[in-house]
Structure 1
Amino acid sequence: MADPNNLPALCSIDEFLKHDYDFIVIGGGTAGLVVAARLTENANVNVGVLEAGAANIGDPMILTPAMYTKAIGDPKYDWLHKSVVQKSAGNITIDQPRGKGLGGSSAINYQMYVRGHKVDYDDWEKLGNKGWGFKDLLPYFTKHEHFDDPSSYTTKPNIPLETTYDAGLHGTDGPIHTSFSTWRLPQEKEWMAASSTLGENMGSPLEAWSGDHMGMHHSLSTIDRSNGELTGTRSYATTGYLLPNAGRPNLKVLVEALVTNLIISEAGEVTGVEFLHEDKPHTVLAKKEVVLSAGTIKSPQILELSGIGNPSILSGAGIKCVVDNAQVGENFQDHPATAIGYELVEGEKSLDMLQQEPELQAAMASYMTDKSGPLSSGGAAMGFASYADLATPAEVKSLQELILSDKYPGHNEATKKLIAGSLGDHNYGSLQLVLLAATLDLRYPGNQKVLLQPPAEQLGKQGLALAACLARPVSVGTIHITSSDPKIDPAIDPGYLTHPADIEVFVKGLELLEKMAATSPFKEKIKRKYHPVELDFGDRNSVEEYLRHTCATEYHPLGSVAMGKKGVGAVDDRLKVWGAKGVRVVDASVMPLHVSGNIVSSVYAIAEKASDMIKEDWGL
């Protein structure tokens, strides 16, 4: 790995301010580092990156795949955002972990590499976003990917890989490595076998990254298994896009620089950025464009702090409106998740073994020796199930009518039609199911530090959790500033479970988890259900109450600066902010509708496509 103390691109404030820049990228995260790397391929293009967090280069907490549970909730790596009180989800605030530092959330995520269903991206195009369908994005999925084929692994897996794949559908020379874990939860094989008996679409897909991922399979992870220097470590935006290009003289990166606002004229033209470094204000100009890649929470905040947004919201925060764009901060979507916890029979092991000293020492020794063992693992077995397969035709029809009615606020009519249609599609995964390799404290879904640890009564025991997540929630939320102070978080309201349709889909997911746990050969691995100890699935009120009090984030917030037609989206399909000049947004916030599965692959693809758009627009 490059020496973090000798990276020419990482510079001091004085060095950063010496240079002139064609482009300023706000946010050195998952998307921002992609844009910076691609634009500086042209030696005549100068790019400056402002990152609010630290560099964290070479940090074992980030590089060690299984350490994400420790990084989440640590202020060194996580912004520690919290939602406003979720009245429809336990009446609590719910943590919204987001990566802070170079690499952004790609530095602290679960490393599960999932491409959405082709319907997800085709529906973006149906919403008026030309060039954003699956066939248009597929080249950018392969462009960012470096698939490490299992046939090349030097570490033998602890259990055989039973997921099929087509290497021809994957990238082989991109910056981000993807691989299958060489250490897998021992119960994955039985879970997948049991699941395959529960429905026609519940077996393993032929190629889960082809645009059709129905059924259960081993997940790919963004972990390097190329047998090189970084084998067995997290592959993320920093290792993939920054470090190989950190010697470029036309790339400068300043960390611990908090952007306060864009420099914008009365006519709505953005010419630069104001930021704080060591609490001192500074200004930097962009000759061509500012690229806002601060993420789903920070990007709308920065736009609103700059006077771009809904006039009534801006005035309430003491900000003068320069560009009237009421869609900024709207359309916020996240995948809500719920789970059931199970204790394993004697002799079975999960990642809970790392809570015990001998097993932890052995795992550390394996990882230090050849980057193998449980510490080298990311992601898990997972898959997708169709609501249409789990419900009766009458239930599907009733749910679709509920979504299309005007009874509840939420998405616009065009989006509601797409969501309703997908719920009736037997080939669309409305539910993501995940086998989580450790005991969780499901009593505290809003507190990540507690949730990701076993409850006291389960210490010393081995367990796991089965999670169900909504792929396309009907509930929608907002992110808006309440203060002109950039250090104060905006009001983050995911609106979890505010639409009753989400409860209907979640109930089917919870019932499916119970069936999985009661089906051979997986059921022979289960000793008991530790949470909830008692839940009568015949009592609808009890099931709904459980769902509302175990709802947590699946860490996939997006859509708060969505692309769409003028008056519908906040940015156009070239990602330029409606009503403004000289600024475009490139991150998860531009996605107009949620995708089925984890979002990091989609963010990389968006950033790769956006980089080409910027080059095209400027003739670079």
Structure 2
Amino acid sequence: MASMWSLGLLFTTVFHSFCLTHAYAAHHDVRNLQARNIIEATSIASSYDFVICGGGVAGMVLANRLSEDANTTVLVLEAGGTGDDVSASIDIPAETYYATLLGSNYNWGYHTLPQPKAGNVPLSWPRGKGLGGSSAINGMYLVRPSQLEVDLWSSLIASQDNDSAAAWNWDNMFAAMKLSETFTPPSSQIQKTGDIQYNEDSHGTDGPLHYSYPGYLVPPVGDWSPTLEAVGVPTTSDASGGQTYGNFVATSAINPSNWTRSYARAAYLDPLPDRPNLAVLPLNTVTRIIFSGNSSDGSLIASQVEYASAAGAARKTVNVNKEVILTGGAIGSPQMLMLSGVGPPDVLQAAGVPVKLALPGVGQHLQDHLSSQVIWDATGDTYSSLYHDKYSTTPTTSNAFLSFVNSATAYVNITTLLGSEEEASAFQTQIIDALASSSSSLVPSNDSTVIEGYQAIYNATVNQILMSPVGQVELLLDLTGTQQSGSQSVAVQCALQHPYSQGQITITSNNPFQQPAINPQYLSHSADVTMLREGLKLARKIGQTPPLSNVMGNEILPGSQVNTDAEWDAYLQNNVGTEYHPSCTCAMLPLSQGGVVDANLSVYGLANVRVADSSVYPFEFAAHLQAPTYGLAEQAATIIRSNYNGVPLPWAPSPTSQPSSTTASSANNNAAASLFQINSGLVTAFGTLFAITTISVFWTMF
């Protein structure tokens, strides 16, 4: 009989004898054939209508959608490589745990500043560097935010521009997320083994990205739901339909036709025919945006994008006919703005960058999902089926077997977390009462608008989200082994979803090849400590509750010596990681609240620059950010194409409606950009608008 740790051992021993040979050769060949839009530096044109800075999730979506208009030229500049040289590590889902790319050139290798409340050490922040971005190296979770959270996002910008804010309400974002996907239900066998529930109507049927479930599951996945129900966390039958509460088995970015990872490059770039109007240039880093005009009259126009292949290489430029679109993520996008002279004046001046536009919110409002875990020795005979009985093909020679990823998930609300409505209400009151002291001592900026933004996010979180059914912590079942005990361990991980601690990202020099300073200020607010501590207590309880407890041995971490709140808090200080979900550094908020972009994703004060990635979310979602970012990018493409093609937006109000002041301002910005285009000899494009997570334990959550 196979012991509990056989899963990890078996994965490790079979991968390099099977995975890297014939199983994925055909897929690799297809990719090489389909890379027709990837160019060499010598083939770049002198100008493009749209220059997309970053070839990750949003960059790939926008490249695909914008280039559907044949008379529109699109360039993508990506700092990393194509991924062809590491295709097996990308394509094979389980390689996420056993042949990670974290030590390769496909990881930016970021680290935070030492965190005083988290062991006073820096934390690793891996981010994907290459075509597809983090979608090429993450844990493949496709978990959407709840309807309540998405509608709250929309409401935070609606006071400034109600019409444009409609793009970000649940109905429209739900449609955009479905637009991005093709959903394949699990087989009846997989559904039974994992006790999987889903609603097919909440998914798309013909989008580029594949949503499905692993082709192989082990019995403890099916133990998740009854165990969670036993501790008071109900099962949700429709986790993708806006009610992301309770426990479920998450969908993953897996293509069940060949059991490969479905990621942004494979979904949005590789299937394209040769498009003469689309160019994707890898291995070239955007160093700055070059502007013409001035900020005093709102006519600061991005006329060129500067880039280089390496720190010591010559800087080159490409002309911009229409817009620059930043898709560098929560780190890259604010860094590019600041290097270009757009950001907090004190930060820019200290870094030696001339101030082109004072925009204090750039890099501010940084939030992330901080996490910890309870770990047990693995035991029991439940993995005997690993070798036989379940599948007609032996697992060790099955592509389906190699698609196994962790996917048992739960979002726990504050009442369940604290034990009663009375405890939850008292906790809410404590947080509300701490607003004044928190905003005066915890905001890493002295700018009044950034402080206003902190307060707006804080109030929205405590008043609209905290007492709702929305999860305050996420729980994940890790069956693939941990750093502490290798393949012979199993963990229940806990991650804080709505932090009251906010940080910042700043540049420290004008060198674009020097990493920025990342300071998330983890656990600086006491409410974050409380919620993460209570989540860990619940994680321990889960591991002690049948049927899941049947596969748990001795508790390795934190161990039986940790029981009191003070002991849990001390444990937390030295045992935290992250789900790798940074966001909010170019927040979509009013300018008066330290916002960076408006409801149309346009950067305040710039005529033709947008940001379209996870940096624009104003607060963290109880979700993994991959799924909503695909939807965000689809919406961005619709907004941009509507603007230039003269096609009404699907959510546009009737023609009799009066434009808001922000809409009028956006129109003025567009007019300025149009004048620049005429002076450059640009013929306006036209077309039809189409309705269209290291082997580290925490890496499984990315």
Which one is further off, 75-84 or 2-11? 2-11
SS at match of 1:475: coil
SS at match of 1:302: helix
Give the C-alpha shift of residue 273 in structure 1: 0.4
2:541 paired with 1:507: no
Q: 1:217 aligns with which of 248, 264, 279?
A: 248
Residues of 2 paired with 1:296 and 1:167: CA distance?
32
Q: 1:610 aligns with which of 636, 649, 662?
A: 636
User: In the alignment, residue 467 of structure 1 is paired with which amino acid?
Assistant: Q
Higher helix share: 2
SS at match of 2:222: helix
Question: Taking every aligned residue pair, what percent have the same amino acid on both sides?
Answer: 31
2:281 paired with 1:254: yes
Give the C-alpha shift of residue 319 in structure 1: 0.6
Corresponding residue for 2:301? 269
2:281 paired with 1:245: no
Corresponding residue for 1:315? 349
Corresponding residue for 2:472? 430
Corresponding residue for 1:482? 508
Residues of 2 paired with 1:67 and 1:305: CA distance?
36
Give the C-alpha shift of residue 217 in structure 1: 1.2
User: In the alignment, residue 138 of structure 1 is paired with which amino acid?
Assistant: F
Give the C-alpha shift of residue 179 in structure 1: 0.5
User: In the alignment, residue 399 of structure 1 is paired with which amino acid?
Assistant: F
1:243-273 deviation digits (Å, cap 9, x = unpaired): 1125111110110001100011251211120
Give the C-alpha shift of residue 7 in structure 1: 2.7
- Superposition RMSD in Å: 2.1
1:367–1:252 distance in 2 versus 1, CA, 3 Å: farther
1:171–1:6 distance in 2 versus 1, CA, 3 Å: closer
Residues of 2 paired with 1:462 and 1:350: CA distance?
15
User: In the alignment, residue 433 of structure 1 is paired with which amino acid?
Assistant: L
Corresponding residue for 2:185? 149
Residues of 2 paired with 1:19 and 1:165: CA distance?
49
2:65 paired with 1:38: yes
Which one is further off, 48-57 or 238-247? 238-247
Corresponding residue for 2:162? none
How many pairs are equivalent?
582
Q: Which is greater in Rg?
A: 2
Give the C-alpha shift of residue 422 in structure 1: 4.7
SS at match of 1:71: coil
Q: 2:457 aligns with which of 382, 393, 415?
A: 415
Residues of 2 paired with 1:609 and 1:366: CA distance?
43
Which one is further off, 202-211 or 315-324? 202-211
Q: 1:378 aligns with which of 393, 405, 416?
A: 405
TM-score (norm 1): 0.90
Contact preservation (8 Å) 2:365, 2:454: no
Contact preservation (8 Å) 1:396, 1:423: no
Contact preservation (8 Å) 1:422, 1:430: no
User: In the alignment, residue 620 of structure 2 is paired with which amino acid?
Assistant: H
Corresponding residue for 1:28? 55
Residues of 2 paired with 1:380 and 1:160: CA distance?
13
User: In the alignment, residue 200 of structure 2 is paired with which amino acid?
Assistant: A
Contact preservation (8 Å) 2:34, 2:272: no
Give the 5 Å matches for 1:402-481. 402-404=430-432, 405-408=435-438, 409-410=442-443, 412-422=454-464, 424-441=466-483, 455=484, 458=485, 462-481=488-507
1:52–1:511 distance in 2 versus 1, CA, 3 Å: same
Corresponding residue for 1:198? 231
Give the C-alpha shift of residue 393 in structure 1: 3.6
Contact preservation (8 Å) 1:13, 1:277: no
Residues of 2 paired with 1:368 and 1:266: CA distance?
63
* Structure 2 residues not aligned, in runs of 5+: 1-26, 159-164, 295-299, 444-452, 646-685, 687-702
Give the 5 Å matches for 1:75-154. 75-129=104-158, 130-131=165-166, 132-151=168-187
User: In the alignment, residue 568 of structure 2 is paired with which amino acid?
Assistant: V
* Structure 1 residues not aligned, in runs of 5+: 354-358, 442-454
Corresponding residue for 1:563? 588
Give the C-alpha shift of residue 548 in structure 1: 2.0
Corresponding residue for 2:325? 291
Give the C-alpha shift of residue 437 in structure 1: 1.3
Residues of 2 paired with 1:615 and 1:510: CA distance?
46
SS at match of 1:602: helix
1:394–1:3 distance in 2 versus 1, CA, 3 Å: closer
SS at match of 1:239: helix
Residues of 2 paired with 1:305 and 1:344: CA distance?
49
TM-score (norm 2): 0.80
1:308–1:426 distance in 2 versus 1, CA, 3 Å: closer
Residues of 1 paired with 2:31 and 2:204: CA distance?
27
1:88-108 deviation digits (Å, cap 9, x = unpaired): 111110000100100000001
Residues of 2 paired with 1:320 and 1:341: CA distance?
50
